[in-house]
Chain A
Amino acid sequence: MATTTNYSWSTPDNTAYVKDGASAIRTLGSSVDTTLFTALGGAYPGLRLIKKQTIGTGVSSVSVTSAFSATYENYKILVTGGSASSTPDLNFSLDGITTGYYSSLRYSAYNSTTPQAISSANAASFAYTGSGSSGNLYADIEIKNPFAAKTKVVTGVLNNMVAGGAAGEMTGFNASTTSATAFTITPSAGTLTGGTIYVYGYGAS
């Protein structure tokens, strides 16, 4: 029987019977499946880009749908480029969950070494999950279990990107077990223009 060059997958000979075609295709498909699974290290391994969304002009909030699913448990969301009409913090919420967001931020001003902290309890969104300035938007959000019926856990980074601003790390949670497939990013003031939202899933198998 003929085989492929690199992985020696079996393929039908030119003289093989047509009646054996279904079996031959099944054998070849299984070989490809096995080789890919082994070579990649799983069915959906590594960090994989799920969705890329360009932000429009002068929008007060941006929702990204079909971001979360049963394929992945944990996700990374990046926001880069673009601009904000002021210097807002970026709030982050899961569609279908309107309350119960808890956030805590440890930060310092760029012109100070004094550690400071701020928090919000039972709010309508996670606070301080990113920042905007006239020259850039910035978010680096990690979220665990947005789709699973489990407590949602978030970490984020605030970086005002202005000389008089501040920077720090936030953590948060929402005890809701609601399954979310979409999320919304809302500036705490003003609007957003341009920039890109990237959603990645961490391979689970």
Chain B
Amino acid sequence: MTKPFIQIDDEVREMTDDELAAYEEQQANALAPLGE
């Protein structure tokens, strides 16, 4: 399964496992978006 893409300056690539874990933790702890 394709992992989410991360961009660092001009480089766009799939997240590493560590980056994905940090991203998922942040999303899980995020407040409900006001615009949803």
Contact = CB atoms under 8 A, between A and B. Distances in A.
**A and B interact physically:** yes
Interface of A: 53-65, 86-89, 91, 98, 107, 118, 120, 123-125, 127-128, 131-133, 158, 160, 162, 165-166, 186, 188-189, 191
21 contacts: A56-B5, A59-B12, A62-B7, A63-B6, A63-B9, A65-B8, A65-B9, A86-B35, A87-B33, A87-B35, A89-B35, A91-B26, A91-B30, A124-B22, A124-B26, A132-B35, A160-B34, A165-B35, A166-B34, A186-B26, A188-B30
B31 interface: yes
A160 B6 contact: no
Given A91-B26, A123-B29, A188-B27, A128 B34 contact: yes
B25 to A, nearest CB: 7
Given A57-B12, A60-B6, A189 B33 contact: yes
A118 B31 contact: yes
Interface string B1-22: 0001111111010010000001
Given A60-B15, A91-B26, A186-B23, A127 B31 contact: yes
Contact of A165 (B10, B23, B34): B34
By size class, the interface of chain B is 20 to 34
A128 B35 CA distance: 10
A127 B34 CA distance: 11
Q: Give the 5 A-B residue pairs with the shortest CB-CB distance, closest first.
A: A87-B35, A60-B4, A160-B35, A56-B12, A59-B7
Contacts of B34: 89, 107, 118, 128, 158, 160, 165-166
A60 B23 contact: yes
Given A56-B7, A61-B23, A120 B31 contact: yes
